[in-house]
A and B are shown apart, each in its own frame.
Chain A
Amino acid sequence: MGRRRRRRRVDPADATRALPEAIAALSQTLPAGPSPETFRRAKFDRPEAAPALWRLLFRVLSPQLADGASASFSPEAQVRSVKLALRTQGYPRRALAQLPDDGSQGGRELLLALAWLLARGPLPERLLTQNRVQLGDEMPVCECEALASPGPPTPSVEADGCVDIRHLQWLMGKLRFRWRNLMASQQEQCALLGKIHSYTRGCHSDRSLGHLSVTETELLRDPEGGRQLLRRLERENARLQAALEWRRRELVFWWWMDTVLGACPPEASQPTFLPRIPTPGTGALEPLVQELQALQGELREAVEARRAAWEAGGSSGVVPAGFRSHHVAFWTCWWTCVSPNPTWAPPSSLHELDRASTGFVAVNSGPRALH
């Protein structure tokens, strides 16, 4: 038991001190975090804890909203939005969906939902990254997403529906015009940026950057704006500090959450009817199926042609023994490096459905026999 010196048994007294500190760090790093007292009340499912937790979950699940914008959503709208978002992400407990929409109840369930979100991924870090204060001039690494934001689905456009194809041509022309405008604006922006950088060369004493960025120059030009930037920066620093604190102390929080889960009454297992959530239906998967089938057809043709040519060649000589397996091993290496998610295997559910096919997993892990 005492093999690792660093691990020590934590006594309960330590834990009771450490827990409020951990929760304080957590609520400081999250936007709109409630006090540790609220968390404690939530464990005992006290009603006064619920509204603060609904608000917190709303802010956490829709981080793209600006700080003030969440106030424009009514409490009911916030509750519904939180429920939808959690269901979309696959939250396992039904009790949350059954909570009333006025946001007056459900402290414990909300606490569990928050813990579930925290357990699944680095939530505080992700939120901080999304709302990061930009001090330098940044250019996104990948512009593919720049023009690809569908956002909320557009409401039904024209009531009458039927449209002349010339309208489509007109829209397309409009789009081309906007593209040209974008290009021109982008070029101008780069030219101006170059100028600002060259005029402020040698000003940045701190780093090896050598010149000021637009944000920094703007801060010098407009002191009031500069003060606001400084305040934002300091707030972010506080949240970053709290996130580091949280990382150090979170273990005691998880022990506590186990007790919270234990305090819940067990859920009855009859299925309740839940409202449908918008999901990509199979109809939407059809284009992808067709694409893959088309690709498969082309490959089949190419392979047949080449194999026929190879076998008809005759003078090709002897293929060395390890050639094929070496090649296949090289191949799986390529696929692992290049595939969209190198550790991608289908989720266990898919795997369970078809135990016989070890296809997906095998591609990543080793050579397969082709015949």
Chain B
Amino acid sequence: MDTTVTLLAGSSRRLVAELRDALDSCAERQRQLERSLRVSRRLLRAWEPAETLAPEPTPGPETNEEAPSAACIPSPQDLKELELLTQALEKAVRVRKGISNAGEGNKAPSLKSGSIATSPATRASAPPSTSHRAGSRASETKPPRGIRQTRVPTKDLPERRLLSVGDQACMGQGAGATKPKSGLRNEQIVLSAASQAPEAFTLKDKGILLQLPEAFRKAASRNSRLWAQLSSTQTSDSVDAATTAKTQFLQKMQTTSGWPGPRLSATEVEAEVRHLQTACLLLRLRMGEELTADPKDWMQEYRCLLTLEELQAIVGQCLHGLRELCTVVEQQLGPWPEGRFPRASLPCGGGADPIWSPQLLLYSSTQELQTLAALRLRVAMLHQQIHLEKVLMAELLPLVCKQEPLGPPWLALCRAVHSLLCEGGQRFLTILREDKPAD
């Protein structure tokens, strides 16, 4: 029994194209989300220690702007010391990462020696493939040697001191005295707080200590100021004069071109059609509201009637306009094989404004944000679904009428169409055929 239902080439092409478009736009959106997720996840993990030392020491109070680093600049001898200590620290970081990489999987000490034994092999291979987990820039040759020297850096007191100095300088905790001696006092706290990865910076623990660099702040405030200026509507004389000049220029362009040109450009046709589609949507929604409303008194009933009559008149006008548009399109641009069409969407605030500065959205809990985002996404998906169902209806329903009823191919087609259109592709009907009992 042959139950495969093959569609005609034209329908197939259109339907498959629509579905693939939908799949592609979902994939694109997924890619965007993945990108943001990668960034966010990386931010919430421990940050690379080398990078936390890099941002410029931010000034505390504004008055210290002129000489922010004056308080933090150590003497030349200290500088040398700092350099040596930085190197030692970096080595220690790599060592630690090496240990944690090696130690995480293998708890037994015997396996640790095993990892040391295998490290000469890794030394030979050039690409830093083993550092993927830590993401550190450790070279392959360091860990094996470093493992044996493990004990030394951790016990090095000046190194701790450096850490606290660096910490304070970068986190803007103290603008004033960052002398090495004062660091010793904090040493104990640092030691106890950070157990096996003291250099790691996590947003959770120290996020509130961050400060944006000065240059960036200035640029950002200038940016918002300029955008505000640009979006404010100016009604000075010069703007009016410019508008007049522009209109005159356009008219001259039109008249000096010896060609009457299309009265409606393709973009304008598309825009008109989009307007009409949106109008249709709105009118249908309004009609639905009126029909479901329950009038309580005669005045409401009468209002309802008048509203429906108005809607009817408006729909009539829209149809009239659309038919004129069809005529215009046919006359000027000729019949054209149908392409895909822009979909109607409800008018969204701020869509027409070319300069729209983002407005602030405040939320009070993560739940709220998630609900909001989920609802928005659901709306977009529903739009997509509605469009697809319209296309499917247009292509598949005629087929159902055409095929001879009650034959097996027709049943298969009905089942498929039902599942696609009525169940959104989620559920399938089961069709049982009752054979006449043989007597």
Partners in one complex: yes
Instruction: Please indicate which of the listed interface residues A142, A226, A323, A357 has the most CB atoms of chain B within 10 Å of its own CB.
Output: A142
Contacts known (A119-B250, A339-B282, A357-B320); A146 close to B210, Cβ less than 8 A: no
Which residues in B have their C-beta under 8 angstroms from that of A176?
424-426
Which residues in B have their C-beta under 8 angstroms from that of A138?
358
Interface contact B203-A199, CB-CB below 8 Å: yes
Complex Cα gap A139–B360 (Å): 10
Complex Cα gap A141–B351 (Å): 9
Least CB distance from B315 to A in Å reads 5
Instruction: Select B37's contact among A129, A189, A236, beta carbons within 8 Å.
Output: A189
The residue of chain B having its C-beta at the shortest distance from the C-beta of A116 within the complex is B253
Which residues in A have their C-beta under 8 angstroms from that of B314?
335, 363
Interface contact A293-B377, CB-CB below 8 Å: no
The residue of chain A having its C-beta at the shortest distance from the C-beta of B204 within the complex is A199
B312-334 near A? 1/0 per residue, CB < 8 Å: 11111111111111111110011
A sample of 7 more A-B contacts (CB under 8 A), given A94-B258, A162-B12, is A147-B22, A150-B21, A190-B373, A192-B41, A277-B266, A292-B280, A359-B316
Interface contact B250-A116, CB-CB below 8 Å: yes
In the complex, 9 of the A-B residue pairs with CB atoms within 8 angstroms, ordered by the A residue number, are A87-B265, A148-B384, A166-B416, A168-B19, A183-B378, A247-B234, A282-B329, A291-B280, A292-B322
Complex Cα gap A347–B34 (Å): 44
Contacts known (A148-B383, A178-B30, A221-B51); A187 close to B370, Cβ less than 8 A: yes
Interface contact A126-B207, CB-CB below 8 Å: no
Complex Cα gap A293–B280 (Å): 10
- The verdict on B369 contacting chain A, using a C-beta distance below 8 Å, is yes
Which residues in B have their C-beta under 8 angstroms from that of A143?
376-377, 379-380
- The verdict on A72 contacting chain B, using a C-beta distance below 8 Å, is no
Interface contact A285-B13, CB-CB below 8 Å: no
Q: How many residues of B contact A (CB 8 A)?
A: 190
Interface contact A187-B282, CB-CB below 8 Å: no
If over half of B's interface residues share one DSSP class (helix, strand or loop), that class is named, otherwise mixed; here it is helix
Which residues in B have their C-beta under 8 angstroms from that of A229?
216
B242-254 near A? 1/0 per residue, CB < 8 Å: 1001111110111
If over half of A's interface residues share one DSSP class (helix, strand or loop), that class is named, otherwise mixed; here it is helix
The residue of chain A having its C-beta at the shortest distance from the C-beta of B42 within the complex is A221
Instruction: Select A191's contact among B203, B333, B370, B426, beta carbons within 8 Å.
Output: B370
Instruction: Select A147's contact among B10, B16, B220, B384, beta carbons within 8 Å.
Output: B384
Contacts known (A154-B20, A287-B390, A299-B315); A250 close to B354, Cβ less than 8 A: no
Least CB distance from A200 to B in Å reads 5
Complex Cα gap A142–B356 (Å): 13
- The verdict on B105 contacting chain A, using a C-beta distance below 8 Å, is no
Instruction: Select A360's contact among B33, B258, B321, B366, beta carbons within 8 Å.
Output: B321
The residue of chain A having its C-beta at the shortest distance from the C-beta of B246 within the complex is A119
Contacts known (A125-B355, A363-B314); A267 close to B256, Cβ less than 8 A: yes
- The verdict on A223 contacting chain B, using a C-beta distance below 8 Å, is yes
Interface contact B380-A292, CB-CB below 8 Å: no
Which residues in A have their C-beta under 8 angstroms from that of B213?
226
Interface contact A271-B273, CB-CB below 8 Å: no
- The verdict on A12 contacting chain B, using a C-beta distance below 8 Å, is no
Interface contact A289-B227, CB-CB below 8 Å: no
Which residues in B have their C-beta under 8 angstroms from that of A268?
258
Interface contact A196-B315, CB-CB below 8 Å: no
B23-66 near A? 1/0 per residue, CB < 8 Å: 11111111001101101111110011001001100000000000
Interface contact B420-A316, CB-CB below 8 Å: no
**Stretch of A45-53, A99-107, A211-219 lying at the B interface:** A211-219
Which residues in B have their C-beta under 8 angstroms from that of A236?
223
Interface contact A156-B13, CB-CB below 8 Å: yes
Least CB distance from B395 to A in Å reads 10
Least CB distance from B344 to A in Å reads 9
Least CB distance from B295 to A in Å reads 9
